[in-house]
Amino acid sequence: MANHTLTSKLLSNKLALSGLIIVLIMATFAILAPTIAPFDPNDIDYTRMLLPPSAEHFMGTDDRGRDVFSRMLYGAQISLLVGFVAVGISSAIGIFFGAIAGFYGGKTDAIVMRFVDVMLAFPSFFLILAVIAFLEPSIYNIMIVIGLTSWMGVTRLIRAEFLRLRNQEFIMAAETQGVSTTRMIWRYMLPNAMSPIWVNITLGIAAAILVESGLSFLGIGVQPPNASWGNILTDGKANIEIAWWLSFFPGFAILLTVLGYNLLGEGLRDVLDPRLSKK
Mean pLDDT value of segment 175-201: 84
Q: How far apart are CA 212 and CA 230, in angstroms?
A: 7
Mean pLDDT value of segment 165-188: 81
11 alpha carbon, distance to own chain's centre: 22
pLDDT of residue 187: 83
pTM of the entire predicted model: 0.87
pLDDT in tens, 215-247: 888 888 888 888 899 989 988 888 888 899 999
For residue 248, give the 3-state DSSP assignment. Answer: helix
pLDDT at 13 over 50: yes
pLDDT in tens, 91-113: 999 999 999 999 888 899 999 99
pLDDT of residue 23: 94
> Which domains does the chain possess?
74-277 (1.10.3720.10)
Q: How far apart are CA 84 and CA 72, in angstroms?
A: 18
pLDDT of residue 279: 45
Beta bridge pairs of residue 127? none
DSSP symbols for 190-218: GGGG-HHHHHHHHHHHHHHHHHHHHHHHT
pLDDT of residue 126: 80
pLDDT at 1 over 50: no
Mean pLDDT value of segment 200-215: 91
pLDDT of residue 270: 80
- Residue 209 to residues 27, 30, 137, 147, 185: CA-CA distances in angstroms? 13, 14, 16, 12, 31
Q: How far apart are CA 16 and CA 260, in angstroms?
A: 9
Q: Could you report how far apart the first and last alpha carbons of the chain are, in Å?
A: 23
pLDDT of residue 278: 46
Mean pLDDT of all residues belonging to the chain = 87
